[in-house]
């Protein structure tokens, strides 16, 4: 497709200073000098830069935070994976997503609270910690994905012996932009071992229905254990060797919808030696490596990744994922902003 060049528009410099001063004093601003910036031709301008955070770089700094700042002074001890394209202090990885690596030490309790942004925890390291979500006690094991949806009380505790870390994925930048972000604090009550949603939804295609009543709950399943996800991916790969990607979505088991209205989550298994080319899609995405090693090319930038690393891609990027191993699969969890794009009618797949 040949695209006609756009005409050059007037600039701020062409306008008389006293005229501009009068505009500003009246809380006015001329559109035409900025029109091309807010409505660029053919493709959005992304502030989001392809960025890799290597866990081996983050981990010592996170452990140091554990020495420097007690839980009472942190509430949540987190180092935010900030995208330099947005400015580090803005604490966002992509337009919609905030990422943080959180540390909890043995015996600590990150107190109960709730807030309007949705959050997911992807467990990176350690054993013995738990997240309580509205009283449901969710063990935190490597690779698990745990939802703490908007408005649900949640706390994190640790009965184990070594540090536990996890990746937080929140829709905080979007909710902040909507001026709808706030928090409430609750009582420091350790979660009681109430019935686990993981047990209620233990088999695919089966949902609890006591006396023929189905669950009326926007988030019926809170914890997605990694062992189950990994087994599902392996079975999918074995059942359909020709499948174009071994990828499974984390969904609401009652209705098949995305877990959150803003961010969708899925897991990918890269088969041994596989290169997976993801087409250019409008939403930004985040990838967290659960197992394996390989490389990724995003907008011509190449990164090597391995277990526990995290990287992000701006929207409208072609992404090529390569498994470095010819003998072992690699596994990753993907978060992407497609629910927002679909609801707003912005979702595009090109080429
Ligand atoms: Fe929280």
* Cα–ligand 1 centroid distance for 48 (angstroms): 24
Low-confidence ranges of the chain (pLDDT < 50): none
**Tokens 């701020």 map to which residue?**
12
* Cα–ligand 1 centroid distance for 1 (angstroms): 47
* Cα–ligand 1 centroid distance for 160 (angstroms): 21
* Cα–ligand 1 centroid distance for 313 (angstroms): 25
* Cα–ligand 1 centroid distance for 264 (angstroms): 19
* Cα–ligand 1 centroid distance for 185 (angstroms): 10
* Cα–ligand 1 centroid distance for 100 (angstroms): 11
Which tokens hold the place of 269? 């298994």
Q: Whole-angstrom distance between the N-terminal and C-terminal Cα of the chain?
A: 12
* Cα–ligand 1 centroid distance for 168 (angstroms): 9
- Which residues have CB under 8 Å from 278's CB, separation 6+? 318, 319, 320, 321
* Cα–ligand 1 centroid distance for 183 (angstroms): 8
Q: Which CATH architecture has domain 51-200+223-350?
A: Sandwich (2.60)
* Cα–ligand 1 centroid distance for 28 (angstroms): 39
Of 256, 342, 332, 326, nearest in space to 291 by CA: 332
Give the per-residue pLDDT at 192: 62
Give the per-residue pLDDT at 4: 74
Give the per-residue pLDDT at 288: 98
* Cα–ligand 1 centroid distance for 293 (angstroms): 31
Determine the Cα–Cα distance for residues 28 and 131; give it in Å rounded to an integer.
49
* Cα–ligand 1 centroid distance for 45 (angstroms): 31
* Cα–ligand 1 centroid distance for 109 (angstroms): 13
* Cα–ligand 1 centroid distance for 204 (angstroms): 29
* Cα–ligand 1 centroid distance for 147 (angstroms): 11
pTM of structure: 0.95
Domains in the chain: boundaries:
51-200+223-350
* Cα–ligand 1 centroid distance for 153 (angstroms): 8
For residues 194 and 175, the answer to whether their CB atoms sit within 8 Å is no
* Cα–ligand 1 centroid distance for 77 (angstroms): 11
Q: Is 73 helix (H, G, I), strand (E, B) or coil?
A: helix
Determine the Cα–Cα distance for residues 325 and 329; give it in Å rounded to an integer.
7
Which tokens hold the place of 10? 């007037």
Q: What is the largest CA-CA distance in the chain?
A: 76
Q: Work out the mean pLDDT of the chain and round it to a whole number.
A: 95
Give the per-residue pLDDT at 259: 96
* Cα–ligand 1 centroid distance for 138 (angstroms): 15
> Exposed/middle/buried for 273, CB within 10 Å: 0-12, 13-18, 19+?
middle
Bridge partners of residue 223, in order along the sequence: 146
* Cα–ligand 1 centroid distance for 130 (angstroms): 14
Report strand pairing: 330-336 vs 246-250: unpaired
* Cα–ligand 1 centroid distance for 175 (angstroms): 14
């Amino acid at each position: 497709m040949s695209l006609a060049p756009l005409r050059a528009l007037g600039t701020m410099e062409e306008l008389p200073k006293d005229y501009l001063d009068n505009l500003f004093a009246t809380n006015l601003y001329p559109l035409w000098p900025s029109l091309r910036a807010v409505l660029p031709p053919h493709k959005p301008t992304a502030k989001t830069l392809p960025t890799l955070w290597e866990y081996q770089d983050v981990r010592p700094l996170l452990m140091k935070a554990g020495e420097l700042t007690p839980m009472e002074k942190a509430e949540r001890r987190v180092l935010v994976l900030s995208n330099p394209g947005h400015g580090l202090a803005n604490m966002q990885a992509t337009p919609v997503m905030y990422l943080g690596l959180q540390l909890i030490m043995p015996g600590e309790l990150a107190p109960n609270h709730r807030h309007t942004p949705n959050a997911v925890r992807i467990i990176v390291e350690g054993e013995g910690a738990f997240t309580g979500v509205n009283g449901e006690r969710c063990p935190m094991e490597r690779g698990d994905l745990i939802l703490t949806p908007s408005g649900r009380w949640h706390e994190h505790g640790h009965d184990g012996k070594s540090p536990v870390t996890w990746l937080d994925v929140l829709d905080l930048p979007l909710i902040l932009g909507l001026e709808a972000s706030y928090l409430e604090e609750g009582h420091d009550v350790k979660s009681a071992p109430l019935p686990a949603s993981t047990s209620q939804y233990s088999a695919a295609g089966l949902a609890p229905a006591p006396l023929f009543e189905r669950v009326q709950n926007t988030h019926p399943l809170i914890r997605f254990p990694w062992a189950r996800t990994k087994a599902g991916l392996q079975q999918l790969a074995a059942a359909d060797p020709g499948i174009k990607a071994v990828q499974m979505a984390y969904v609401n088991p009652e209705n098949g919808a995305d877990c959150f209205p803003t961010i969708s989550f899925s897991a990918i298994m890269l088969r041994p030696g596989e290169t997976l080319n993801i087409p250019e899609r409008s939403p930004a995405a985040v990838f967290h490596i659960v197992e394996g090693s390989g490389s990724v090319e995003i907008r011509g930038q190449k990164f090597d990744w391995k277990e526990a690393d995290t990287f992000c891609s701006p929207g409208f990027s072609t992404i090529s994922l390569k498994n470095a191993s010819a003998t072992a699969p690699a596994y990753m969890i993907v978060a992407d902003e497609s629910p927002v794009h679909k609801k707003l009618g912005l979702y595009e797949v090109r080429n």
